[in-house]
Structure 1
Amino acid sequence: MTTSAAEHQEAIETVRRLIKGIDTAMLTTVTSEGLVSRPMKTQEVEFDGDLWFLTMKDTSKFDELKDHPDVNVAYAGKSYVSIRGKAELVNDRAKIKELWNTAYEKLLDTTSDDPNLVLIKIQAETAEYWETGNLIKVVKRLFAKVTGQKSDTELNRIVDL
């Protein structure tokens, strides 16, 4: 594995660890009036560079994604993660069934067989994250600020995915 491939894999594993267990993500799309964000249920699948969400074809979100595939997905919980990428609308019945759970029946008021259901696949391009639970980094960073010394400890980081 080359260095860039190793760095790529490390970035994916870091983002996977940071978003794991955060139930709700905020999906930001582009409309003719500007940006709009809405909560989306996080899928219980391991992040591998792609994010998956479910939606209905008869929503404004569906139309926005057809016209403007550039999106941002933000997670806030044990950490803060902002992922920029390209969305693709995927009509894959087997994948819908794979990702389906009973929470969607209540949330979307439908079943997994509904032909109006569609997947949103987001291919992540970059991620910026803040590891809020890392007290050692925070203390080192504060010490550097107080003493005026340069710190190699970053509270946030941007990675290419």
Structure 2
Amino acid sequence: MSETDNLTDQDAIHKIRSLVNDASTCMFATQLGQVPFHVCPMQAQQTDRDGRIWFFSAADSAHNQHIVTDPRVNLIFSNPSAFEFLTLYGKATITCDPKKVDELWNQLVSNWFPGGKEDPNLSLICVEPENAHYWDTKHNKFLTMAKLIGAAVSGNEPTVGVEGDLKV
């Protein structure tokens, strides 16, 4: 069983930043009005102080083209080693801001963009959260497992986690 802890404003942003930083890779879904969605794994580069999540992306990619026609996206982050999960809906924008590219640039990104920071196919996606929901443990993975086993043996209902809505 989980406790509910809905968070707003700066508390919500702090929780989003924490969960995104811990998981970093998400499943990034576009074309939310169609079934099936277009989904691909993406590496978050930063969650800024306003809760916006930044990604590098190829300008000619399918998901960039989908964002142009419909900016609604769903990001699903999973950190199973810590039992932390986040689903986030938001609006995505595409930019090529050289200052932001310079701020976020790292060696891993250079593998995807051989032309470097000036690669003509380089773009950034910025996702502005609209609503989100998280699941988190109150304890580390091993203590959580011990509590679940103890509850199974005793027949008591365990309270091992917390979940809630996040409103930025």
TM-score range, shorter chain: 0.7 to 0.9
Counterpart residue identity of residue 99, structure 2: A
Runs of 4+ that moved beyond 2 A:
31-34, 44-48, 107-110, 132-140, 153-156
Q: How many residues align?
A: 151
Q: Which residue of 1 aligns with 2:9?
A: 8
CA drift of 1:21 comes to 2.9
Q: Higher mean Cα deviation, 107-116 or 62-71? A: 107-116
Structure 2 CA distance, aligned partners of 1:80 and 1:134? 14
Aligned to 2:4: none
Greater relative CO, 1 or 2 (CA 8 Å, sep 6+): 2
Partner of 2:53: 51
Cα distance change, pair 123–46 in 1 and its aligned pair in 2 (3 A): closer
- 1:157 equivalent to 2:158? Answer no
Tell me what 1:3 maps to: none
Corresponding residue of 1:119: 124
Alignment correspondent of 1:106: 111
- Give aligned-pair identity as a percent: 26
CA contact (8 A) 2:136 2:161 kept: no
Per the alignment, residue 70 of structure 2 pairs with 68
Letter in 2 for 1:23: S
What's the secondary structure of 1:134's corresponding residue? coil
Shift of 1:154: 6.3
TM-score where L is the length of structure 2:
0.75
Q: Which runs of 5+ in 1 are unaligned?
A: 1-5
Given candidates 122, 128, 136, the residue that maps to 2:133 is 128
**Structure 2: any 5+ residue segments left out of the alignment?**
1-6
